[in-house]
Amino acid sequence: VQLNHTYNHVNMSQMSDAGNREEVLSNEELFAAIGAPMTFKGIRPPFGGSNPRVQALLDSMGYTYFLDRIGTDDWIPERTAAEIREAILEQLEPGAIVALHDGPGDTSAGAGTVAALGQIIDEARGRGYCFGVVDHTGEVIASRYVSSGRPIPQITNPVPYHALVFGT
């Protein structure tokens, strides 16, 4: 499931309703054009850019917005896997939504996140956490997946990440 994050990664609280509507719909149209229509209208406003006006607009467009999350500044290339892992694990709590970035393919941003992800999952499961999905109200619904105990397999043929840049 893909989520909307606006077309040009704008701070929605600094935009007009018309501008925000265009950002959201342009991104939605892009997903449809590449053969991945949005089956769930979820959005995390970039930079946490949301206020009651933005939330009302998103509601009127049928979107569920996600504002509460655990973030680590993992998009900064210098962040190590250990720093990212520890920042997330220190903030972990039931119902948390964790925000991670894998970074554009042509930079080192995201390497720490990719290296930390398996460790974060293993440690969270070791602490008794399970993972889930977000419903139409923005609440996390737990999945009761039970681990096999086997390690997460290594990726042998990753799909390349192609960075897309829009706007000016």
End-to-end CA distance of the chain: 28
Q: Identify the pLDDT of residue 144.
A: 67
Number of helical H runs and strand E runs in the chain: 4, 4
pTM for the predicted model, two decimal places: 0.69
The token duo for 144 is: 């009761």
Q: From start to end of 11-150, where are the E strands?
A: 42-43, 64-65, 132-134, 140-142
Nearest CA-CA partner of 120 in 141, 105, 99: 99
Q: Identify the pLDDT of residue 157.
A: 67
Give per-residue pLDDT as tens, 80-124: 999 999 999 999 998 888 888 776 655 667 788 888 999 999 999
Distance between CA 70 and CA 85 in Å, rounded? Answer: 11
Distance between CA 18 and CA 37 in Å, rounded? Answer: 22
Q: Identify the pLDDT of residue 78.
A: 87
Helix (H, G, I), strand (E, B) or coil at 133: strand
Inter-CA distances, 89 with 20, 56, 71, 106, Å: 33, 33, 11, 28
The token duo for 18 is: 């018309």
What is the chain's pLDDT, residue by residue, as a tens digit (168 residues)? 678 889 998 999 999 999 999 999 999 999 999 988 888 898 989 888 889 999 999 999 999 888 767 878 888 888 899 999 999 999 999 888 888 877 665 566 778 888 899 999 999 989 988 888 777 777 777 776 666 778 877 777 665 544 444 444
